[in-house]
Structure 1
Amino acid sequence: TLQDGEYVLVSKVTYRLGQPQHGDIIVFKYPGEPPQDLIKRIIGLPGDSVQVNGSNVYVNGQPLAEPYIAAAPMYQGQWQVPEGFLFVLGDNRNDSSDSHSWGLLPRENVIGKALLIYWPPPEWNIISHYEIAVAAPTASAP
């Protein structure tokens, strides 16, 4: 989880060579107003069904193990991620402007993958991209 005032090195090349993955932390152009860059974690990819039900997040019917979140979400919702879009959430689930509040993120808004915190120097660290094990989407997924 990142803190205010930390500076992050972002790779703009990563997604030219490959596709975004579940758990990647990305920087993107906020699709609303005012225009700004945000940083969030990818939870849902095209074809995925994402459900937030009280304290759990499910992708394609499977609950996610999320050791990185500050607190379990206190909201509910269900989203189907179409081609060309991503579903992103902040690690501070209950105080984050993300897909649960403003909708799906257009893929073209992605700037790149966050790699490391480089400022302030005492906080220098490689950013952990937890691998989120997600079942393939099926017709019966919630």
Structure 2
Amino acid sequence: MSCCDTQGRLSVNGHPVDESYVVLQPGSDRVSLQDFSVTVPKGQLWVMGDNRYDSADSRAHGTVPVSDVVGRAFLTTWPVSRWTVLSRHGDVWDGVPDPS
């Protein structure tokens, strides 16, 4: 996994990912302020927020053991005015090839 390519996108297993849901910094087309490249170890997850200019995610804290995951978020419930079902964005992530 690396960021960012010449179009400001994240690449996973060499595949650029178009993440329309990421909050971009005004005037920027990059999904992350910091460049990075990481190989995620087997049994670990790399997690990133959708507001990456204001997220303390795996870029700050490293990978997360799969065994620590207890569920998947599927709703936004707060504030009440923003209640919605969260998408898994299969159109984005299903196209990422398995690691070679």
**Smaller-chain TM-score range?**
0.7 to 0.9
Give the TM-score taking structure 2 as reference length. Answer: 0.78
Does 1:68 pair with 2:7? no
Cross-structure match for 1:57: 10
Runs of 4+ in 1 over 4 A off after TM superposition: none
User: Which structure shows the higher strand fraction?
Assistant: 1
The structural deviation recorded for 1:120 is: 4.0
Selected match of 2:49 from 83, 90, 93? 90
Give the TM-score taking structure 1 as reference length. Answer: 0.57
- The answer to which structure, 1 or 2, has the higher relative contact order (CA under 8 A, 6+ apart) is 1
Does 1:79 pair with 2:38? yes
Structure-2 separation of matches of 1:107 and 1:117: 23
Which consecutive unaligned segments of at least 5 residues does structure 2 have? 25-30
Does 1:116 pair with 2:78? no
Q: Percent identity?
A: 35
Cross-structure match for 1:137: 99
| Residues 13-41 of structure 1: per-residue CA shift (max 9 Å, x gap) | xxxxxxxxxxxxxxxxxxxxxxxxxxxxx
Structure-2 separation of matches of 1:76 and 1:83: 22
Aligned residues: 89
| Residues 58-117 of structure 1: per-residue CA shift (max 9 Å, x gap) | 000011010000012111111111121001100011211111111111112212101112
Structure-2 separation of matches of 1:88 and 1:96: 10
Which consecutive unaligned segments of at least 5 residues does structure 1 have? 1-49
CA root-mean-square deviation: 1.5
